[in-house]
Structure 1
Amino acid sequence: MNDAARTPSEDKLTRLVARARAAGPALSCAVVHPVDPASLAGAMEAAQAGLIRPVLVGPEARIRAAAAAAGIDLAGVAIEDVPHSHAAAERAVALAREGKAGALLKGSLHTDELMAAVVARDHGLRTERRVSHCFILDVPRYHKPLVVTDAAINIEPDLETKADIARNAIDLCRALGIGTPKLAVLAAVEVVTPKQPATIDAAALSKMADRGQIEGGIVDGPLAFDNAISLEAARSKHLTSPVAGDPDILLVPDLTSGNMLAKQLQYLAGAESAGIVVGARVPIALTSRAEGSRARLASCAVMKLATAMRVTKHGPG
């Protein structure tokens, strides 16, 4: 489904942007190495929408050249002049540590380079939780926004890491206005079997939620994708679940499966997406060059909502 085919009531990302615009003043945001027209234009569009107050961090001459190429006026926009992308990542993180930036927006640099500065032990933005990534997807055939996590940061998370991934996603959904998010822990099957360790982790996460070790949401698993998304599929397998047919969050077994799932929904099901890293001191948007302006705008909206609800102040579960 293309943009023109979406009615205002169906356009979930537009509703997120509208909610974020109404959530107080613009968020101070360090834009990391925006030296190409696309990343710079995305940041400035978010600024014009009242979502962020950008601080452009990178080589000033290259930033101004990108602005000239894109016809962007940088009058009044703060620029932190540093020599290269590595220095830009370090300076942006420093701005967040100093309280001068409430969020980070990735520009034209590799994700690994930015995240290395974010997770640095002495000068990074770590909290007591593991950081994780959330895709917020507007899937045309699904009735509400759908979060897929983690599809970008944690490659093969263990149980403890998955618990933090769950906590981060639940906190984010609460910031997006979902009172009690429903989280489906995905596996290939819906029964617990030692032959598939993902099912054991899923069962443990469900019990951890029952015992209050994961708070704020309803967690159930293992669930295969079909009986997580479709109540009819769950009923056909005689499966009773408080999440089946209505999840807000899909927690995937590993990065590979999550990345494939998110991109399949985007490229085959027409889903549009926003995405942020949570679990650090500030939210971080890892937009890619393949994403359009709507995705960048929506990611900034999600960051603003996350900050407004203090999602990045994590307690011990």
Structure 2
Amino acid sequence: MRGAAALLLAASVLLIAAADPDPKTETTHVVKDGETLGGIANRAEMPRVLIIEANGLKAPYALRLGQKLVIPRRRIHTVKDGETGFGIAMDYGVPWSAIATASGIDPKAAVKPGQKLTVPTLAKPPVTASPLAAALPAALTSPSATPSEEPAKLADTPAPAFRWPVDGKVRRGFVAKQGDKPWHDGIDVIAPRGTAVRAAAAGKVIFAGDGPREYGKTVILFHSGRWTTTYSYLDQITIKDGETVGAGERIGFNGQTGLASEPQLHFEVRRNRVPLDPAKYLPKAKKP
């Protein structure tokens, strides 16, 4: 009898623990009656802003009973020589603004080798926001309980059905890098200043802002698997980090920023950050 009682007691303890996980380690929290964002953040031992960013909460940050919150257990990335903020964002599929906020740094500041960055886990976007929401790999939305130096592991999927982001003549084509010879990581398409630039496929915005000097105003979209597209030389950006966009949705207006010699769009297709010839993935490829 004593053994049976002990087993029942142990089972009860396990059930209570399962029903009420430790805020210091849980990765998803269900809001209980009377709980506040500040109280949850304190028990989870993390800044309130990280929970706000991870779940896309809006001021005044009121919570509702039964609401599920992602508790962003963080990964740590040590900046390597030659890395940039938006390159790191591409690796993890997390907007640079979210990484900068979690790391307590100015998103416009250059990163430095050896600098440690906090990479938060972001909640999956609502299904109604974009067709991408249903296709996002679990690696982008599953919280990590312990810090890691490695990017999220992503499924290797076929290339999306890309469309032309802008209509116009290709003035400069793709040239693969070979030794010290000149190379070109994408294609440059001539189009009037102010022409709408559209997403080549459904995606999540992981960078939207001033890129490296030669790129000018730039948008980077993360697509399914390990695919990204880059849109540079923009005159104006009309979307923000973390947003999801559908194929053909406007992301900005064509311009002449960066090193552009005339109004044009610089467009790149990358898999695992490796640049590929966009002409091989676009319909009815146009020749320079």
TM-score range, shorter chain: under 0.3
Question: Which is greater in Rg?
Answer: 2
What's the TM-score once normalised by structure 2's chain length? 0.23
Which structure would you say has the larger RCO, counting Cα contacts within 8 Å and 6 or more residues apart?
Answer: 1
* Structure with greater proportional helix content: 1
What's the TM-score once normalised by structure 1's chain length? 0.22
